[in-house]
Structure 1
Amino acid sequence: MKIAVLTSGGDSPGMNAAIRAVVRKSIFNGIEVYGVYQGFQGLMTGNIKKLELGDVGDIIQRGGTVLYSARCPEFKNKEARKQAIEHLKNHGIDKLIVIGGDGSFHGAQRLHEEGIATIGVPGTIDNDIYGTDFTIGFDTALNTIIDSVDKIRDTATSHERTFIIEVMGRHAGDLALWAGVAGGAETILIPESPMDIKEVAERIQMGMDRGKKHSIIIVAEGVMSAAECGKELRHYINVDTRESVLGHIQRGGKPSGRDRVLASRLAAYAVELLTAGESGYAVGMMNNELNKTEFHQVFKEAQPYDEKLYKLSKELSI
C-alpha cells in the first residue's frame, strides 16, 4: 500500500503537524508514503517524492507547509485530473490525503469519483468546514488576532480613539466573533449576522455619552473593509477612527498546542480510514470525538456559526 499527501489552498498553522502525522502513522503501519509538492499543481506535474521519517523531523512546531501550496483552478478540468492520476499510478499510488479547505475538498472529491481513494483533512484558519467543531489553524490564528487586539487597545486607550480591526473571513465570521469576545471588542461585524452601521454608530455614541473614551470594532473582511466601516460610521457620528488590517499575519506563526494535537489526531485518523478501504470522506472532530463526513455532505451543509456566542458578545459589550 502507498499513500500520498498534499496541502492545498491557503496555508494554516498545523499543516506541518498533519503532514508529520500522516508520514509517521503510515510508516508505523508499514505503508510507503509520498509527499506531493505544490498541491494539486504538483500532482499535475508529477512533483512527487517518497518521504521518510527524517523528512518530517522538527516540523511539528513550524507554521506554513513544508510541502508548499498553490492555487490550481485548472484542476477542475478532467484532462488535468487525468494527468494527475497518471502521475500517481506511475508511482503505484492509489490513495491520497488532501489537507486544506473547501476548495481543496472539491478536488479531493473528484479524485475519489475517478478512482483514487481520497480522504480530506480540514486545514484552514476560517473554521468554515462542516463536520468538525474546529479546523486546523483556527486556534493559532485566533490567538494571533487576540495578541494584536490587545496591543491595539493600548493605543486606543492612550489616544482615546475608536479602532476598527479587519480580520480574515470572507464567508465565515468565526475568527472575528471569537476574537471579538476574547478581546473585549465593543462591536463585532460578521457575514452570518449583518448589522446596520447606523446601529453600530448608535452603540458607540451611547458609550461616548456615558464617558467612554475608546472603542474596538472587529470586522470580518466578508462584511466590508475597515476603511469602508470607518467611512460609513462617520456618516452618522463624529468619531475619530483608525483602521488596522491584520492581513496574512493571521496565517503564520507556530501552531498552538491545540492545533498540533488536532492536526495529529485528524491526520492519523485519515490514514486509518484509507487503510480500512474508506474513501470520499472529510475527517473532523465533534465533541472531542473523531468522525467522518462524506464530501457531498460537507459541500451541502454550511458550518453553523455560534449564535449564542454572538448574542453574548452584544450583552457583554454594553
Structure 2
Amino acid sequence: MKSVVMSALENDYRVIGIRRGWAGLLHYNLDEHSTHDYYVKDLSLHDVHRIDRTGGTFLHTSRTNPQRVKPQDVPDFLKNSAYGKAIDDKGTMDYTDYIMKVLSHLGIDILVTIGGDDTLSYSVRLHKEGFPVVAIPKTMDNDVFGTDYCIGFSTAITRSVDFITNMRTSVGSHERIGVVELFGRNAGETSLIAGYLAYVDRVLIPEVPFNMERLAGYIMEDKRNNPSNYAILTISEGAIMEAGSIIESGEEDAYGHRKLGGIGEVVAEEIKRLTGQGIMYQQLGYLMRSGAPDSLDRMVAMSFGHLAIQLIQRNDFGKLTALHGGKYTTVPVEMVLSGKKVVDVKSFYDISTYKPFIKDFLGVPMFLS
C-alpha cells in the first residue's frame, strides 16, 4: 500500500483508500454522508510513510463478497432495493450493480486490489464488468493461482520457524511430542516449508491424507532416535486422516468457507492414545501472520506496488502482479480462478514417510512452489 500510494502521488494521481475493502463499498450509503467519512479516506504520504514498520492494514479488512451477500448481511438501506439480484432460493443477493454505482459516485477510475484468491475473485468480477482493475496477491498461504509468491508468505514462515525453534525448549525439557498446527486450508506450503526449515520430524499437509497409526509409529521412532528424547511435527489446519474429513466449524462465510482448525488437537490426542506419550499441542493460528514484515516481504510488496502503478500508467488493466521464476511479471487477473495452487507432492514430499523430500534441486523454485 505504501509503494502504491507513494508511486501514484509522484505521478499526479489522487489516491483513495476504502476502509474494510469490499465491505466499505457495499455499506457506503449514497444518501448518508457519514458513511463517506467512515469508509472513504484520501491517502497522503503522511498516512503511509510509517505503515511498513508494522503488519496489518490501517484501512482494515473484511470477509465480504458483494456478489454473494447473505440476507442477514445486507445493509438496511439496500434491503428491498432494485440493486440486488437474487442468486439462489436462500435470499443470497448479488450487489455488483450497487458497487459499480458507488465507484462512479466516488469518481474512482481504477481499483488496486490487494488480497488472496477470495478477495481477488471479486476483482475478476469487476474486470468482467468493464471496470479497470490491477490486482496484487497477498496471502500467507501463498496459494493464489498465477504467481509463485504472495505477499506475507515469507513472514509467516519466518514466524513459524521461530515459534517451532523456541518450542523445542519445553518439548525437549519434558521429553514430549510436539504438535504444531499451522494455517493452510487447501495448500500445505506453510506446513511443508516451515517444517522443512525448522527440521521437524514429520510434516502433514492437506494434499496427502495420513494414516494415524503409521504416523504414531514414525513419531515414536523419531523420539527414540533423538538424544534429547522428543519429537515435533507440523500439520496444516486443512490436513485430513485417511478416510476422514476436514475439521470445520461455524457457518460458511461469504466465500463459502467454514472456519478451519482443530485437526492438530485431534492428532495430538490420538498420538497420546496410541503411544501413551505426553503431548504439547500448539495452534499458532494468527500469530503466524502478525507483526512486522520481514525483508523479503518488504521487497516483494514494494515491487508489486510500484509495478501496479506502472501498469496503470500504461493503461494495462485486468492484470495480476506476479513472480515467475524469480522475475516480476503480470498475468491476466482471471488466472486466480483458473485453478488451485497446491504443493507439488511428487517433487517435494514423501507420501510414505510424511517428510519434505526434494528429489533434485536443479531447477527447483526458490519456495518449492
Residue 227 of structure 1 is matched in structure 2 by 265
Residue 362 of structure 2 is matched in structure 1 by none
Q: 1:125 to 1:210 in 2, by over 3 A?
A: closer
| Residue 57 of structure 2 is aligned to residue 65 of structure 1 | yes
Distance, in Å, in 2 between the alignment partners of 1:37 and 1:190 is 35
Residue 36 of structure 2 is matched in structure 1 by none
Residue 263 of structure 1 is matched in structure 2 by 301
- Check whether the contact 2:322–2:329 (CA below 8 A) recurs between aligned residues: yes
- Check whether the contact 2:348–2:357 (CA below 8 A) recurs between aligned residues: no
How far the C-alpha of 1:231 sits from its partner, in A, is 2.3
| Residue 7 of structure 2 is aligned to residue 25 of structure 1 | yes
| Deviation string, structure 1 residues 219-249 (Cα, Å, up to 9, x no partner) | 1110152111022224533322121111211
Residue 309 of structure 1 is matched in structure 2 by 348
Question: Counterparts of 1:135-174 in structure 2 under 5 Å?
Answer: 135-174=150-189
| Deviation string, structure 1 residues 89-118 (Cα, Å, up to 9, x no partner) | 123212101100011011111111112101
- Check whether the contact 2:120–2:135 (CA below 8 A) recurs between aligned residues: yes
Give the partner amino acid of 1:226: G
Give the partner amino acid of 2:40: I
| Residue 58 of structure 2 is aligned to residue 43 of structure 1 | no
- Check whether the contact 1:180–1:187 (CA below 8 A) recurs between aligned residues: yes
How far the C-alpha of 1:23 sits from its partner, in A, is 0.6
2:123 aligned residue (81, 86, 108): 108
- Check whether the contact 1:170–1:220 (CA below 8 A) recurs between aligned residues: yes
- Give SS of 1:242's match: strand
- Give SS of 1:260's match: helix
Deviates more, 1:252-261 or 1:205-214: 205-214
Distance, in Å, in 1 between the alignment partners of 2:49 and 2:57 is 13
How far the C-alpha of 1:278 sits from its partner, in A, is 2.1
- Give SS of 1:124's match: coil
- Check whether the contact 1:40–1:75 (CA below 8 A) recurs between aligned residues: no
| Deviation string, structure 1 residues 269-298 (Cα, Å, up to 9, x no partner) | 122222222222221112221122223322
How far the C-alpha of 1:210 sits from its partner, in A, is 4.5
Question: Counterparts of 1:1-318 in structure 2 under 5 Å?
Answer: 19-46=1-28, 47-76=39-68, 79=84, 80-210=95-225, 213-223=229-239, 225-307=263-345, 308-311=347-350, 313-314=355-356
Greater fraction helix: 1
How far the C-alpha of 1:75 sits from its partner, in A, is 3.8
How far the C-alpha of 1:211 sits from its partner, in A, is 6.2
Q: 1:97 to 1:315 in 2, by over 3 A?
A: closer
Q: 1:122 to 1:314 in 2, by over 3 A?
A: closer
Distance, in Å, in 1 between the alignment partners of 2:124 and 2:105 is 21
Deviates more, 1:271-280 or 1:203-212: 203-212
Q: Root-mean-square deviation (CA), in Å? A: 2.0
Give the partner amino acid of 2:199: G
Q: Which has the higher contact order (CA 8 A, sep 6+)?
A: 1
- Give SS of 1:32's match: coil
Distance, in Å, in 2 between the alignment partners of 1:315 and 1:37 is 43
- Give unpaired runs (5+ residues) of structure 2: 29-38, 70-82, 85-94, 241-262, 359-369
How far the C-alpha of 1:57 sits from its partner, in A, is 1.3
- Check whether the contact 1:76–1:107 (CA below 8 A) recurs between aligned residues: no
- Check whether the contact 1:119–1:279 (CA below 8 A) recurs between aligned residues: yes
How far the C-alpha of 1:208 sits from its partner, in A, is 4.3
Distance, in Å, in 1 between the alignment partners of 2:166 and 2:25 is 42
How far the C-alpha of 1:55 sits from its partner, in A, is 1.5
Distance, in Å, in 2 between the alignment partners of 1:264 and 1:203 is 43
Give the partner amino acid of 1:73: N
- Check whether the contact 2:223–2:231 (CA below 8 A) recurs between aligned residues: no
Distance, in Å, in 2 between the alignment partners of 1:54 and 1:208 is 54
Q: 1:240 to 1:22 in 2, by over 3 A?
A: same
Give the partner amino acid of 1:215: A
Pair member with larger Rg: 2
Q: TM-score, normalised by structure 2?
A: 0.76
Q: 1:208 to 1:141 in 2, by over 3 A?
A: closer
Distance, in Å, in 2 between the alignment partners of 1:140 and 1:211 is 29
- Give SS of 2:15's match: strand
- Give SS of 2:311's match: helix
- Give unpaired runs (5+ residues) of structure 1: 1-18
